[in-house]
Every structure is written in structure tokens, then in C-alpha cells.
Structure 1
Amino acid sequence: MAFFSTNIPKNRLNWVDLFVLIFIFTILYSILNLGAGMNAPFTLENQTEIALDPSLLPYYAGRSLLRMFIAFGASLLFTLLYGYIAAKSRTAEKVLIPLLDMLQSIPVLGFLSATITAFIALFPGSLFGVELASILAIFTGQAWNMTFSFYNSLMTIPKDLQEASEVLRMNWWQRFVKLEVPFSMIGLVWNSMMAFGGGWFFLAASEAISVLGQNIRLPGVGSYLAAAIEAGDMQAIAYSIFTMILMIVLVDQLFWRPLVVWSQKFKMELTESADAPTSFVYDILRRSKLLSVLQKLILSPIAKGTNYFLDQIASVSEHTAQEFQSIPRHHIISKLLKLLALLLFLQLMRDPIYNAYILVSSMDGGELLGIVQLGLYTLGRVMIAVLLGALWTVPVGVWIGLNPRMARMLQPVVQIAASFPANMMFPFITILFLKYQVNFEWGSISLMMLGTQWYILFNVIAGAMSIPNDLHEAGAIFKLSGWRKWKALILPSIFPFLITGIITASGGAWNASIVSELVSWHDTQLVATGLGSYISNVTEQGDWAGIIWGITVMCLFVVTINRLLWRRLYNIAETKYHLD
């Protein structure tokens, strides 16, 4: 499959090719230069100080971007593998989807607490271990909503397309590359943008690490911001905010905008919309003869070879599976293999589980009951934040998604608003709360919304953009308008996307509670009673019993709410509002 048009001059290069060549070499040189700094010497006693000199911000920005894109690449691979297995195996689905609910509810600080010491020990004397811990923390802010989106798309593929793939006798790899990934592309691109925004949100926590009594600073915009807040330097905070906005705009225009335009080719419709999204970068890439040559000589042979190799593996694996099913008592053999895998897992986890039990058994029942009560406070804030977020994101998201011209103008604005780390604004909001004596028990809800409402907005936009033009024309024929159009066309079409957005927003709100229920400005702290502020405190103190119980209670709340409410709505979306 060619990614760009080859309708270009055949006998000469043009200025576009010079621009593309310079850009490619700049990216490669930057990756090599910035990557070298990730393996610098490091000890806890002798760390590099984060200077507030604004001339260092370009280098800090490059280091942050490198971590973000490495984490995004890992998130994409995780999404495709995890989402595919969950969608294809009903047995695996019963385990993987509740596990995904729990994973998205574990705070970033929880992952850092469990990994930072191990990574430092794994790479002694090198900064690389801390870098890996930071990248893993960013990964945990990106992967979950991408995985939910891909899983949701696989579960809602129209039956006629599934039947067509069976008629054509496609193996699992052919279905994956020719049906499943293309069908999920629009939702995956928009959720990837939101996932990248989630990574920005926790950038400061992943670069300025304060866990288990350790304070570690990695070169980056997030650690620069943390240092500026500690110093109370408003000018440095302004520099970091400007740098962050510039980074977000550049990433949007150079990376996400071309992907949005490219993803429209996978929109399922019989008639094409007259007003499609555009991107000047995408147009430049299409005009480049250099990229066409690289694609023909390098990328296409690699893609064809990889596709052939995996196609052969898929054919052999399906043939082996059919032979296995023909063996008498294969169900018994399958159950024995699953039991063996479970026993092996329990054997590997025996010591960690025992050590965790020793830690948490020291906590008395009254303290545990107090943690559950804190969880109820945070639950109330999460539900209010999700409800308020949905009230404005649904109409605005539909308006943007159904108006390509508005989408072109507002996408950079929405991308900046969604990607901009809301916790960068917390110092200013804290000052306002202190000045006007705002009750932080309620004010923390607004901070939580700043980081989570965008999950709903991006999914609604993706849902509105993926409504086939055929349905719009049918609605015009039947003269649908106002509430009748919303009831008969818009809401049923966006409902699966909306529920996916609400599930990920709910999990994101729980995760964001660790930074929204406890904020500080210089020497002043505002604390809201809740599970998020509790986890922040015990993590900083290195209280492992409190960390484990806090995360466990948060996971139980998230899984319970998802099972009782959100997952039931998702089942309705999967069965009733299904495009066939």
C-alpha cells in the first residue's frame, strides 16, 4: 500500500525534496545526540542539577519529546497486541479487560514506586535505568485509552465485512492488516492524540521523581517546571509553559495533522464528503520525489517481506490449530495447558505476593476502613467530573466532527488544550483558590476535569467524523433535523465512541486524583480529602503498606464501577448500536 501519491515530476528533484532531506537528517541527528544523554553516568548522591536558564529549554524539550515518542511507540505495540488478544479470545477477554480497568486506575506514582528502584539496580551507575522508569511512567499515561479504542473497534466491525473476510478465506494476519486495523484507524488516531496528551499531563511527575524518599530530576521540560515551582520563579514557569505550547503545536502540525488526513482514506462510506480535512505537511510529503524513491527502494520491499513472512506464519498457525482441534480430547489438553500456565504464574508470583502480604498485614482494620472512606470521596469527585465533562464535550465534539472546516481550524486549538499538561496551570489556579478562599474539596473537581474531559471530547470527535456520508445523505432525504437527527442518527452513531471515552475518562480521573487532590505553590499546600492525596503522601514517605492498600482500594473501586455501570453501557453499544 502506498502512503503517498506518486504523481510527481520523474526527472528532477525539487525544493520539497531538499526540505524533506534536511528534516530527515535533523531528526536522525537529534535522536542520536539526545539518546546519548540518556546513558550518562548517574548516582543518587551526585545528580545533575536542573538549571532554570531558558537557553537550556530547547535541549530539555528534545529530551522530553524523545521520551514521549519512545513511550508512544511502546503504547502502540501494546495496543495492537493486547487489544487483539482481548477481542479474539473470550476466555482472555474475561481476564484482560478487567485487568485493563485496574491498570488504567493505578496512579503513575504507583508504577514509579514499583519500578524506579528496580531499574536503578538493573543499570547501576547509569542514567538509563531512571530514563526507562520515566518512559514506563509516560507509557502508563498513554496506553490504556488507545487499547480500549482498538478493542472497541474490533468488537464493532460490521458483520458483512467479517463475512466477506471469511468468504475470501483470509487468515488472521490478512484480516488484521486489511480489515481490522483499517477499520479502527480513525478512532485509533484520535485516541493516540489523546494518549499523547495524557503523557504530557504526567510529564512533570515522570521527570521530577519524588518517591520512596528519593528526589530524582531528569533533564526535561517537566523537571524544569517542577524546579521553577519549587523556586517560586514565575518567569521560569512562563518559559516552560511557552516551550510546552510550542512543542505541542509543532507535534500537532508535523505529526498528528498529517495522520488525521491520511486516516480519512479508511473511512467506511460509499460517497465521499466534499470537504475533507487537509494538511500542508501531508501535501508536501505527497509532492516529494525523494520519499517516493525511498518508499519504492526501501520501505516497500521491507513491508512486502514482513507481510509475506507473517502471512506464512499465520497460515501455518491456523492449520496447526485446526489439526489440534481435530485431536480427540483437545479441550482437556487445552485446559491442562491453561492450568499449567496458571501454576507457573503463581509460582513466579509467590514471593512478591507473600512480601506484599507481610507489608499490608501490619495495617489495622480501622486504617483500612479509612482508606475505603477516602475512596468514596474520590469516587464522588470522579463521577461529577465525568458528568460535567460529558455535558459540554458531546455537543462540542459532534459540532467539530461534523464540520470539517471547523475541525481544520479548531483541531490545533483542541490539541493544545488537550495536550497541554493541566498541572502546569495548577500553580496559578492554586493562587486563585488561595486568594478567593475557594473550598478545595470542591475546587479539586475542576482540576480533575482539566486532565480528563478531553478523553470524551476526542472520542466523540472521532465518532462524529466516522459517520458515513451515506447516512448523512439519508438523513437529509428524510429531512432529519434538531432532536430527531440527534436521536435517530448522531447519538446511535457516536454511542460506542462515547462510552469508550467515558470509560477512559473515568480511569484517567482516578489517576489524575493523585495530582488534583494535592497541589502546592512554593510553601503552601492545598489538600482535598480523598484517595489521590493519600496515595501521594504515602508514596513520598515510602510507606509501602499504604501504597499497596491505596492502589488496591482504587483498583477495586474502578473495576466495580466499570463492571456495574460503564461495561453494561458498553455491551449495549456493542450489540444495539452496531454499524451493519
Structure 2
Amino acid sequence: MAMRPNRFDLLVLLFFFALLALVARIGHEAAAPLPPGGEIPISLDPRHLPEYALRSTFRMFAALGLSLLFTFTYAPLAAKTRLEPVLIALLDVLQSVPILGFLAFTVTFFVGLFPGRVLGFELASVFAVFTSQAWNMAFSLYQSLKTVPRDLDEAARLFGLSPWRRFWRLEVPFALPGLVWNTMMSVSGGWFFVVASEAISVGRTEVDLPGIGSYVAKAIQEENLPAVLYALLTMLLVILLYDQLLFRPLVAWSERFKYEERPSEEARSWVLDLFRRTRLLRRASAWLAEALWEAAVRLEPLFRLEPLFRFPPLRAGRGLDYALYGGMALVLLAGGHAFYLLVLKPLGLKEVVRVLFLGLFTLARVLVLLLLAGLVWVPVGIALGLRPSLAGRLQALAQFLAAFPANLLYPFFAYLMARYALSPEVFTAPLMILGTQWYLLFNALAGGMALPGDLREAAANLGLRGLLLWRKLLLPGAFPYLVTGFITASGGTWNASIVAEVVSWGGLTFKATGLGAYIAEWTGKGSPAHVLLGILVMSLYVVALNRILWRPLYAWAAERFRLG
């Protein structure tokens, strides 16, 4: 007997058709020719805000698709192959490069692919947002792959699962709860960079792509406070909408993969409940999932992943090792030669030493701010993670706060420093953490949700309370997630120093001593050599901090605090 669709099937299908129509409209506008002179008019009329919000949201979710593809390719290679030291060091460098640095090198390439059309600038904007999302998600999946419970890993090996099947059947499901929360953080973090990604310049051509970011930028330029408030209200509504339609269902669905022996309190989603009440769509989704898995199983021999995943550690005396070492040496030599020609020769060694010294000031601010933010948001995040229903109610608010353009508060801080003669060396520091502290909150929340309910019940039966409970269970259980949060928050704080160490109010400018102020100053003066030196030194500090502090903590978390 054929199964007939019910009213819930029809409702969901109507929603998908409406979504496809919106995507088709945006795609048509993105492929349109560039107006004469390259200027796309941006109107501050609130009637245009729904369209601008739709285009900004589309760019961020297009970037999210690229970020997921990057995450599921890069993180397994970093966690499972002999290339781990190189790939993780490269990831450290990439997360430390400011988004403006990526724009400077990629805009010309994308615009050249589609000359005279808006699509090239759209792709450049999407790639810029991608660079603000991908690293956090890759670190999250990498952390989960390194901390899979030993008993589950041993069971998968006893059942004879190949690395390919073990990855999709065990490791990805185990990583999903944390990855979902970090995906939310990445999307929210994309709003922070949306202004820079929608205002693009190539040579003498400047293009402001229609979107929330360009709307806010124009409102600030024209000192139109009502327009800024309209934009923030629109952002809040958009975040509430995609939270209800996408992230709340994902959080509720990912709860099924939580590592525990007995079910605990689950997050709820009316969208997921609605989908579960459909007939044809639920059966069609099950059929599609089974077909995809069968296709993956059949394609497994083509990928030949076993040799890749079984690479032994680096050892001298092997031809492949010599080739790898030789390639790394060539890259280092080429990089050193380029550094000499582009930086050291025109600026001199004295300038390099001075910039290294400036980096110490920013390093001190980063470490102090991370410590203070950790003291606040780690206990708050873990406490929320232990209460999924409460976390669900506050989920949209947390995303909005993480997405709030913190640069809107910079003039206010500058006014306070001018009014009360406050030192910029101290009072510009909090601006560095405003947009990045949420990485700590979201990862702490994911760590709290990942704690098995049976362990919490055992702790309650043993009478663990207060500080003893936090010291023996909550902090150790969430520790791998906290390390990921600190790594990503650290990279984001270094990036934020570029705009936070220099703030203005009217004709007054307050500048703190540090590497961020150095990069901002020479970016304004248009000196590529100085800017490149600042970015290289920032990358050096980020990589050194990760290798000295965060990487050993990752290894400690994988060995000491993994579940199972």
C-alpha cells in the first residue's frame, strides 16, 4: 500500500520550495553584470533591510558549506597522518592571519575569474567569511578525533571496521555535539567580519555588496544611529530565525550521539518534532541516508585510505621521509628568501627586533584577557551545558551576543578615555576580547553537554558538591573542549588587536603600544612591507604560543581526560 503524504509533509515541502526560490533569486542577482563605475548603491531605507539580510545570510551559509568541506578534509588528515605537526602548525598560522590579509591576496584572483560581474566580488566576500569560520570548526573536529573514548575505539577495531568506516560510524558521530556548537559560533563570528567582507576594493575600484555589513558601514559613516539600530534588530530577527530552523534542530538531533549509557535531559526542537511527524519525507530521508552510505562503502577502495591512516611516525632512513624533509626544507628556504627580499632588506634588522618587542605587549594583553574571560565564561558555559533546556532557551541570545559587531562599541570606549583621561594601554585591552570570548562560552557549553549523565549521577551518589565536583568531574570532563575554546579565542584575540589597540572619538585617536596598533598604523599609511612584517610576527607569536602552551594541553587532554 502506497504511503500518502500528510499535512506535515506538505508544510515542509512548501518551506523548501520557498527556500529554493530565495536561493535562485540571490544567485541571479550575484551573477548580474557590475554597474558602470563598479558602484552598487546602498540605501539606508529600512525597507531594503530584508533583502540585505537575506544576501548576507546567504554569503555566510555558502561560506559555512566551504568550511564544512574543509573541516572534514583537513581535520582527519591532521589527526590521523604523519603530516600532523605540519598541518597543525599551518592551521595555527592561518587562524592568526587577519581577514584583511586574506582579502588583499584573494580579491584580485576572484574578480579576475569573472571580470565585469558581481559574482567575482561575491566569491571574494564568501571566501573572506570562510576564513573567519573554518579554523574553529577544524580545531573542534581535530580535538574530537584525538579524544574518542578508548572503549568505543577498541570495539570498532574488534568489529573489523576499516579506518574509512570507523571515521563515519564512530568518530564523526562522537564529534557531532561539539562540532554543532562550534559551527554556531563560526556563523556568529562571521557577522563580526561581515563589514570587512562586504566592502571590497581592487585598485581604484571599490564595491560595497548589498548586505547588513555594508548597511552598517554606511550608517556609521553618515552617523545615522536609527539605521544602526534597525540593522541590529534585523540581525537579531535573522539569528532567531536560523536558530529555530537550523541550529536548534541540529542541537536536538546531535544529542542522540552523546557518549553515555543512559539517556539524560535532551534539547527539544519544534522543527525536528514537525519533521518526525511527516511520512514521506521521513522515509525519503532514511532512504537517502542509506543510499549515501552504500555509495560511500562502494567508493571506499578508490580512496585507499588505509595506507594514509597507517603512516608510521617520521624516521630517518626512509625514502618517503627524505622526500618530506626535503620538501619542508625547500619551503623554509623559499620563505626565508622571500622574507629577506620583502621585509628584512627594505626595513632592516632593527625594525624586526622592534616589532618583536611590540608583540610582547600584545601577548601580555592576550594572556591576561584569556585568563579573565576563562574565569567568567568557563563555569557559565559548563553550567548551561548541564541544563540543555535552559541552554536551548538562551541559545539564540548567545548567538546574537557573539554576532554583535563589537566595533560599534569602540567609539564609546574612546569617549570614556577622552572624558576621564583613561590610559589606552589598559582600557583598549577589553575591546580585544569582546568578539572572541564567545569561543570559550560555546566550547565550555559543548563540554558540559558532552558529560555523560551516568557520571554525573555517580558524582551525586558519592556526595560530590561545590568545588570538589568541579575539580573531580566537571572541569576534567570538559577539558578537551576548553582547550579548543582557548586556542580559537587566542587566535581571534590576536586578530582583534589590530582594530582594538587604536580607537578614535571625533578628532582624538588613542593608541596602545602593541603589535595590533603597529599593523593598523602601517595599513593606513599604505606600507606593505611593514604590514607583512606585522602579520609575520603575529603568526610567529600565535604559533609559538600554541606549541608551547596549547599543544601540550591538547596532548594532555587526549591522554588524561578522554572519556571511557
Q: Shorter-chain TM-score: what band?
A: over 0.9
| Residue identity matched to 2:341 | I
In the aligned structure 1, how far is the partner of 2:500 from the partner of 2:36? 28
Q: CA deviation at 1:119?
A: 2.3
CA contact (8 A) 2:108 2:202 kept: no
TM-score (norm 1): 0.90
Confirm whether residue 285 of structure 1 aligns to residue 271 of structure 2: no
In the aligned structure 2, how far is the partner of 1:541 from the partner of 1:136? 26
| Residue identity matched to 1:101 | D
Per the alignment, residue 363 of structure 1 pairs with: 347
Deviations 1:427-472 (A, max 9, x none): 4544455445443332222222211111111111111111111101
Per the alignment, residue 306 of structure 1 pairs with: 295
Deviations 1:188-221 (A, max 9, x none): 1111111112111111111123687764311111
Q: SS of the counterpart of 1:216?
A: strand
Per the alignment, residue 387 of structure 1 pairs with: 371
| Residue identity matched to 1:359 | L
1:153-232 matches, within 5 Å, as 153-209=144-200, 215-232=206-223
Q: CA deviation at 1:335?
A: 2.9
Change (3 A) 1:372 1:318: closer
Per the alignment, residue 449 of structure 2 pairs with: 465
Change (3 A) 1:284 1:430: farther
In the aligned structure 2, how far is the partner of 1:68 from the partner of 1:211? 22
Per the alignment, residue 258 of structure 1 pairs with: 249
Deviations 1:131-169 (A, max 9, x none): 222111111111111111111111111222222122111
Per the alignment, residue 48 of structure 2 pairs with: 56
In the aligned structure 2, how far is the partner of 1:10 from the partner of 1:409? 40
Q: Which of the numbers 467, 471, 477 marks the counterpart of 1:483?
A: 467
Deviates more, 1:141-150 or 1:124-133: 124-133
Unaligned runs of 5+ in 2: none
Deviations 1:101-135 (A, max 9, x none): 11111111111111122322333212222222211
In the aligned structure 2, how far is the partner of 1:520 from the partner of 1:254? 39
CA contact (8 A) 2:39 2:206 kept: no
**How many matched pairs?**
561
Confirm whether residue 497 of structure 1 aligns to residue 484 of structure 2: no
Q: CA deviation at 1:341?
A: 5.5
Q: CA deviation at 1:84?
A: 0.3
In the aligned structure 1, how far is the partner of 2:536 from the partner of 2:122? 26
Q: Which of the numbers 403, 426, 432 marks the counterpart of 1:419?
A: 403
| Residue identity matched to 2:21 | Y
Per the alignment, residue 548 of structure 2 pairs with: 564
In the aligned structure 2, how far is the partner of 1:304 from the partner of 1:127? 38
| Residue identity matched to 1:332 | R
Per the alignment, residue 306 of structure 2 pairs with: 318
| Residue identity matched to 1:233 | N
Change (3 A) 1:415 1:346: closer
Q: CA deviation at 1:293?
A: 4.6
Change (3 A) 1:539 1:26: farther
Confirm whether residue 334 of structure 1 aligns to residue 320 of structure 2: yes
Change (3 A) 1:533 1:333: same
CA contact (8 A) 1:267 1:466 kept: yes
Q: CA deviation at 1:183?
A: 0.9
Per the alignment, residue 4 of structure 1 pairs with: none
Per the alignment, residue 127 of structure 1 pairs with: 118
| Residue identity matched to 1:71 | A
Q: SS of the counterpart of 1:209?
A: strand
Confirm whether residue 234 of structure 1 aligns to residue 225 of structure 2: yes
CA contact (8 A) 1:68 1:138 kept: yes
Per the alignment, residue 439 of structure 1 pairs with: 423
Q: SS of the counterpart of 2:43?
A: coil
In the aligned structure 2, how far is the partner of 1:249 from the partner of 1:424? 21
Q: CA deviation at 1:336?
A: 5.3
Q: SS of the counterpart of 2:226?
A: helix
Per the alignment, residue 5 of structure 1 pairs with: none
CA contact (8 A) 1:112 1:133 kept: yes
CA contact (8 A) 1:212 1:541 kept: no
Give the % identical residues. 46
Cα root mean square deviation, aligned: 2.8
Q: Which of the numbers 513, 521, 537 marks the counterpart of 1:529?
A: 513
In the aligned structure 1, how far is the partner of 2:172 from the partner of 2:83? 20
Change (3 A) 1:162 1:11: closer
Unaligned runs of 5+ in 1: 1-8
Change (3 A) 1:216 1:535: farther
In the aligned structure 2, how far is the partner of 1:405 from the partner of 1:119? 44
Change (3 A) 1:538 1:290: farther
Q: CA deviation at 1:520?
A: 4.5
